[in-house]
């Protein structure tokens, strides 16, 4: 079954079937708003009232994903400006990095553009456990690169955020929730180890998704501690039993 990233609840208008991986020019350029207004945009996901719309556009440099708040209510656009600015800073902080979509740039105050990764959501592949150890290893490499750069993703639990590309590469998407600290700085020494636990707990969730291996005693102890502290977070969403 073919799955395109983030399309399960959106009106998919992309052509069926798998296409070749996005051509990779040396440098990507964010489209201007006037270019988007006259372009053949295709829905990837229509966001809810407070979420950005995701669209795909090709203006001659390969497909780009445009994350856009411009069609939302005024108060959402105001918050969206802050979110877009923050996510742009996260991509610029990392720079080009294997396993992360290349950043094209900021379209305007309400939108940004990044490389389209033509692939399938790893969490929903029927055969994901056949090579689950290797897939976990590839995902671990990407997450380690993020952490080495001082960035914590904070939303790796999202099954929409990890894609397997046709070339076998694993990509981590969506830096909207990420936080970052300059390695060696006092905020990094003080805060990083606490934030990074969220990503490590997510990696254990991916272990369950990609294999039938039981958690070790050490992993179970870590999860118990993590769940205890997470339950104290006042903005923690309610999750189904067993999640």
pLDDT band at 20 (very low <50, low <70, confident <90, very high): very low
User: Which structural domains are found in the chain, ordered by start?
Assistant: 33-115 (3.30.200.20), 120-231 (1.10.510.10)
Q: What is the pLDDT of residue 23?
A: 46
Instruction: Quickly state the pLDDT bin for 239 (edges 50, 70, 90).
Output: low
The CA R_g of the chain, rounded to the nearest whole Å, is 18
Mean pLDDT over the full length of the chain = 86
How far apart CA 69 and CA 185 sit, in angstroms, is 34
Range scoring the smallest mean pLDDT among 36-45, 137-146, 208-217: 36-45
- pTM of the full predicted structure? 0.83
Instruction: Report residue 111 as tokens.
Output: 């939108």
Cα separations (Å) of 49 from 6, 45, 111, 194, 201? 17, 12, 16, 32, 29
pLDDT attached to residue 21: 42
């Amino acid at each position: 079954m073919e799955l395109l990233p983030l399309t399960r609840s959106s009106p998919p208008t992309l052509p069926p079937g798998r296409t070749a991986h996005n051509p990779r020019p040396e440098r990507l350029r964010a489209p201007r708003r006037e270019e988007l207004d006259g372009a053949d945009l295709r829905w990837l996901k229509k966001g809810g009232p407070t979420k950005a719309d995701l669209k795909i556009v090709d203006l001659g440099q390969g497909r780009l994903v445009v994350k856009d708040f411009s069609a939302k209510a005024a108060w959402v656009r105001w918050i969206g400006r802050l979110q877009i600015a923050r996510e742009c800073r996260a991509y610029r902080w990392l720079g080009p990095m294997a396993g992360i979509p290349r950043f094209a740039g900021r379209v305007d105050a309400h939108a940004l553009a990044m490389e389209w990764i033509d692939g399938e959501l790893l969490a929903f592949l029927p055969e994901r456990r056949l090579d689950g150890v290797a897939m976990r290893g590839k995902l671990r490499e990407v997450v380690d690169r993020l952490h080495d750069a001082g960035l914590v993703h904070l939303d790796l639990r999202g099954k929409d955020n990890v894609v397997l590309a046709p070339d076998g590469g694993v990509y981590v998407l969506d830096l909207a929730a990420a936080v970052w600290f300059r390695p060696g700085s006092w905020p990094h020494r003080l805060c990083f180890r606490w934030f990074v636990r969220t990503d490590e707990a997510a990696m254990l969730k991916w272990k369950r998704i990609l294999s039938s291996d039981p958690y070790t005693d050490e992993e179970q102890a870590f999860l118990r501690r993590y769940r205890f502290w997470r339950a104290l977070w006042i903005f923690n969403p309610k999750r189904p039993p067993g999640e």
